[in-house]
Chains A and B, each alone.
Chain A
């Protein structure tokens, strides 16, 4: 009995209900329909509920007057301004505290992370204690502590703490002399811009020279000197067009000067201290990730210790540090929304808080608020991914 040859036949096909491809398509169609039906159900419910409760919809409310005051605003704002304006004020306040927080937390985090690795036993233990204490206490608790137990416990205006003649610290906040720019200050700005441009050009030239000849040029130091020196020269040459407006102590409050409200101070201190603990751990892990052989190889090539750190260790450690550092920055921005607990007028407090309460348009307001945070997250992720690719190891 001659059996048929097994080769040369088309491969056997499973029954349609067993074919993985058909199954995958069927499953996806089912899931898509399910999700779509669920969304339609939610939208219909919402429309019905909004109608039943008599809540208006649409974004018309953004051009209506808001009618409430905001304690701190970076742009012109009054009670007669629109809800759209409150959105902008809140957004700028969020960006202000996030920007300041990111810079300060990075500096403090790097210092503590390096201190954690110090060969000085006491310094290393102090840094470890700092990290373990502050990252294991909820951020909200820290914010409340700094606000209610520290900044609101400061003396009243009359007995404000004085630092020198014109810096005051009281429960109304921190009052600093405010610089007032006079005509002619634009020369200083122009000089600063020129110095930055020159610095960038210098760095490029130094890089090219090093690629060609191997000789290093202290581009960083020279550009730093340029950025500080040129504006200073222009400032003096144009006749020092800057005056200081000093805060004056009044009966109940200060007049004039640059005021840092206690809400901002408390939020900023808490955010910086909390995030720095996480950044310090990131930095430590990054530095430890660079194999010791790299240091030894650099010494064997005759590099000085300072150069070894700057040229060998830091560039390699940064590669490990950047991705988790990005997520810490994102956390800080998202955590700044806790401002609402102490009344700092950030986006969440002003817009999703007061504006939502007054207009009742929960859907539009929450959608706008969440969209802002999502957009910031996505932008920073994209930027950091681009930077990460630039810094990534080029394998040859």
Chain B
């Protein structure tokens, strides 16, 4: 006997679709996988609830002294009391609007760069790199046109972290491009050798020795009587160090440009500067934007090293606060706060770099 009519369609087995199917495929696909899942769940159970308990549920959020934190959880009152110092350090409170204004201006200027349809990106970028630093420098330092003078030893906190990384970035990129061009030179072996030595030297030593050298040895190198500001010395060290890394990133981009582009530029009769500025570099720099952003992330994290030569960046300000005798046992809170701030900046930048990589990648993949 044969069945003549079609069997009505059955729903898929419940173990294959929906929540159950997802669980079966992604967490319990084999005995080994199931064991791994259980171990992972146990690890999460051991770590996450106590952490949430400490950081959120049992934490003290308000207060003005250490004694106000009694509950045994995190003492976020500490961060509240010291917040102003973490951001500005000893920058006079009455003058802090200048810092806010400078960074606010930067945000306003940068936003149009992310708008696809904005047409004068090149001019705006040039303005940000050339004119804006002068404005910001005047706002920070003052001393003319009615603004009181604030010496650099009072700068600190997150403000200093941002200043060092921004200056390092803006100054290191052109120097890095020059070094990369020198290293790629085929007709000038002496220049190439000098560039190779310079790049490999800075890349071979730790940043901390560079900072140390700039703070201890730079005064020895200069003529007697000439003395630089401590911050400026650190900036010089950071810039030279970062330029070497930037040079390698740019060189990678230039190697990624097809030989035909160089030959086409030559056959059009372009001189070397024009060939580089109009044909090679625009393509090479576009290729390595993600690499540049990654270098910048590394630089941003490395700025914390200036605390070793006695500058008080965000980490330095926090390190000073957790050693305050009136606030015992807030070490963990201080470091967690610093970590969170650094993490937000770095994570946002790395996400942006990944997005760029995907968008720029489409045109160049073979």
Contacts and interface: CB of A to CB of B under 8 A. Distances in A.
A35 B307 CA distance: 32
A27 B188 contact: yes
A31 interface: yes
A14 interface: no
Contacts of B26: 119-122
Contacts of A42: 221
By secondary structure, the B interface counts as helix
Contacts of B338: 141
Contact of B194 (A35, A123, A140, A144): A35
Nearest to A44: B223
A341 B201 CA distance: 24
Interface string B29-41: 1000100110011
Contact of A136 (B207, B222, B304, B343): B343
Contacts of B297: 136
B342 A137 contact: yes
Contacts of B37: 120, 122-123
A138 B315 contact: yes
A370 B205 contact: yes
A136 to B, nearest CB: 4
B335 A149 contact: yes
A335 B206 contact: yes
A148 B27 contact: no
B194 A148 contact: no
B306 to A, nearest CB: 10
Interface in A335-387: 335, 337-338, 340-341, 348, 352, 356, 362-363, 366, 369-370, 373-374, 377-378
Contacts of A352: 209, 212
A352 B210 CA distance: 12
A32 B192 CA distance: 11
Q: Is the contact region of chain A dominated by helix, strand, or loop, or is it mixed?
A: helix
A48 interface: yes
Interface in B304-353: 304-305, 307-308, 315, 319, 322, 331-332, 335, 338-339, 342-343, 346-347, 350
A209 B93 CA distance: 79
B220 interface: yes
Contacts of B150: none
A121 B27 contact: yes
A374 B220 contact: no
Given A45-B223, A49-B220, A373 B206 contact: yes
Contacts of A142: 339
Nearest to B192: A28
B206 A334 contact: yes
B45 to A, nearest CB: 12
Contacts of A340: 208, 308
Contacts of A48: 223-224
Interface in B39-67: 40-41, 43-44
A126 interface: yes
Nearest to A376: B204
B308 A341 contact: yes
B36 A123 contact: yes
9 contacts: A31-B194, A46-B220, A46-B221, A48-B223, A120-B29, A122-B40, A138-B304, A138-B342, A378-B204
The 8 A-B residue pairs whose C-beta atoms are closest, nearest first, are: A121-B26, A136-B346, A334-B206, A377-B204, A138-B301, A374-B204, A28-B190, A337-B206
